[in-house]
């Protein structure tokens, strides 16, 4: 879910000896969980840390961008400069963008598996593969630690408002221990079961359904716009009748208002999530034709230069494909044809991310974690 961490800072001392200095004004700790670490301070991770500070927990915060940790320090958190400083934490939350980032933080030199004390709980809030969740559970168990997968449904605005939906999977005693912490992050905690991989799978499935809804709404809004119907009127009709779900209202509103920036989750991260879901579907021999199509549509959005936008930019892609002029591209900071930032020519190679002669460099996507 947050900022990609490329490396772990070196440490000179044994991890159990490293500590973080807390401001004297910080609130008294909770009875059973005194200190919570948060690794990854993007929009989601920052909201987690801020809400737990308000709840009275002692917080240690770490991000590759030290300015983010320092901003939380001003609110009363301890700002860590290396992961070894999480050694005294009872619980550590990780909010990271993908498997690779979490593997580095957990399995890397002086990573969480090396430095956490026996009995500590690593809670992954990230959207990761079920296979990685299971590997983490085994690795932590070998060190006498616990692991809980607790991905969430919701966006950064809901995170700030403590209105997320949390899906927790792991050993029953570990899930029970961290439930008071998770309760401060969302409006409901769903206990999926003993297998943390299943919690990760439920999260991936939820993102498949969200992405499919975004694609459908984008196509429908494009159809109605081209048919001369006010998209706001159409949105009111649908969300005021049979299509009044949170996804329809929240993301449908972004499509109608062309509000794709700042992103809650960028299109490249959505590509990753659908890729993980499709990989699980292949393992389990479950055909997912709609998910496959939507995955390719997200790839097309990135190829068009929409990689830094919210994944609801599937609506923008539908509008452009329908020939709807600028379709809100100006507000998104893109060229008149939506191809300027992608470095594309007029050779009809837009979806391939190629230049005029098919040799242009694809623009690297800004994968800022929401």
Q: What is the mean pLDDT of each run of 10 residues along the chain (370 residues)?
A: 40 38 37 90 97 97 96 96 96 98 97 97 98 98 98 96 98 97 98 98 98 98 98 98 96 97 96 98 98 98 98 98 72 44 37 36 38
Residues 6 and 64 sit within 8 Å (Cβ to Cβ): yes
String of DSSP letters for 326-361: TTTTTTTT--TTS-TTTT--SSS-GGGT--TTS-PP
Q: How many CB atoms lie within 10 A of CB 120?
A: 23
- Active site annotation includes 203: yes
C-alpha span between 280 and 287 (Å, rounded): 10
C-alpha span between 149 and 113 (Å, rounded): 15
Residues 85 and 22 sit within 8 Å (Cβ to Cβ): no
pLDDT at 32 (0 to 100): 83
C-alpha span between 83 and 96 (Å, rounded): 14
Chain centroid to Cα 90, Å, comes to: 24
Q: How many CB atoms lie within 10 A of CB 138?
A: 9
Residues of the chain with CATH 1.10.1040.10: 201-352
Pair of tokens at residue 169: 């999977």
Residues of the chain with CATH 3.40.50.720: 15-194
> For residue 266, which of 61, 39, 2, 41 has the smallest C-alpha distance?
2
Cα torsion 207, 213, 214, 219: sign: positive
Q: How many CB atoms lie within 10 A of CB 4?
A: 16
pLDDT at 194 (0 to 100): 98
The C-alpha angle with vertex 1 and arms to 215 and 330, in degrees rounded to 5, equals: 50
String of DSSP letters for 91-136: EEEE--SSHHHHHHHHHSTT-HHHHSPTT-EEEE-S---HHHHHHH
String of DSSP letters for 110-121: T-HHHHSPTT-E
Q: Give the HSE-up count for residue 134: Cα atoms under 13 Å, Cβ half-sphere.
A: 8
Catalytic residue among 203, 226, 249, 254: 203
> For residue 42, which of 67, 59, 20, 60 has the smallest C-alpha distance?
67
Class of domain 201-352: mainly alpha
As beta bridge partners, residue 166 has 152, 189
What residue has token string 């990609």? 4
- Would you say how long the chain is, in residues? 370
Residues 255 and 214 sit within 8 Å (Cβ to Cβ): yes
Given CATH 3.40.50.720, say whether it is the number of domain 15-194.
yes
As beta bridge partners, residue 38 has 61, 93
C-alpha span between 268 and 333 (Å, rounded): 18
Residues 6+ apart with CB under 8 A from 309: 260, 261, 263, 266, 267, 301, 316, 332
Residues 6+ apart with CB under 8 A from 280: 129, 130, 201, 204, 286
C-alpha span between 106 and 139 (Å, rounded): 9
C-alpha span between 249 and 267 (Å, rounded): 19
By the 10 Å C-beta count (0-12 exposed, 13-18 middle, 19+ buried), 241 is classed as exposed
Q: Is there a cis peptide before residue 83, judged by omega within 30 degrees of 0?
A: no
Residues 6+ apart with CB under 8 A from 102: 94, 96, 124, 126, 128, 132, 136
Residues 316 and 301 sit within 8 Å (Cβ to Cβ): yes
Q: At what angle do helices 43-54 and 66-73 cross, to 10 degrees?
A: 20
């Amino acid at each position: 879910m947050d900022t990609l961490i490329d490396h772990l800072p070196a440490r000179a001392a044994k991890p159990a000896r490293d500590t973080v200095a807390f401001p004297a004004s910080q609130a008294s700790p909770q009875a059973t969980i005194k200190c919570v670490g948060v690794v990854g301070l993007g929009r989601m991770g920052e909201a987690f840390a801020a809400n737990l500070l308000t709840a009275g927990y002692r917080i240690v915060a770490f991000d590759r961008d030290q300015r983010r940790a320092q901003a939380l320090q001003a609110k009363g958190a301890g700002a860590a400069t290396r992961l070894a400083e999480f050694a005294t934490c009872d619980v550590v939350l990780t909010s990271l963008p993908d498997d690779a980032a979490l593997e580095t933080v957990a399995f890397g030199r002086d990573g969480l598996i090396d430095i956490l004390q026996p009995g500590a709980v690593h809670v992954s809030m990230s959207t990761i593969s079920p296979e990685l969740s299971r590997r983490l559970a085994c690795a932590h168990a070998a060190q006498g630690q616990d692991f809980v997968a607790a991905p969430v449904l919701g966006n950064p605005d809901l995170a700030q408002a403590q209105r997320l939906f949390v899906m927790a999977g792991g050993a029953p005693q570990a899930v029970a221990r961290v439930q008071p912490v998770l309760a401060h992050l969302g409006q409901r905690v769903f206990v999926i079961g003993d297998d943390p991989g299943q919690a990760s799978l439920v999260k991936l499935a939820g993102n498949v359904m969200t992405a499919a809804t975004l694609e459908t709404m984008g196509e429908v809004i494009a159809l109605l716009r081209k048919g001369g119907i006010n998209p706001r009127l159409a949105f009111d009709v649908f969300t005021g009748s049979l299509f009044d779900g949170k996804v329809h209202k929240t993301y449908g509103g972004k499509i109608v208002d062309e509000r794709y920036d700042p992103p809650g989750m960028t299109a490249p991260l959505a590509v990753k999530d659908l890729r993980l879901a499709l990989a699980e579907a292949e393992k389990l021999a479950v055909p997912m034709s709609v998910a496959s199509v939507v995955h390719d549509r997200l790839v097309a959005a990135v190829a068009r230069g929409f990689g830094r936008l919210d994944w609801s930019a599937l609506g923008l892609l539908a509008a452009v494909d329908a020939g709807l002029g600028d379709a809100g591209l100006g507000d998104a900071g893109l060229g008149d044809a939506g191809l300027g930032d992608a470095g594309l020519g007029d050779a009809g190679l837009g979806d391939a991310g190629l230049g005029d002669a098919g040799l242009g460099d694809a623009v690297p996507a800004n994968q800022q974690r929401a």
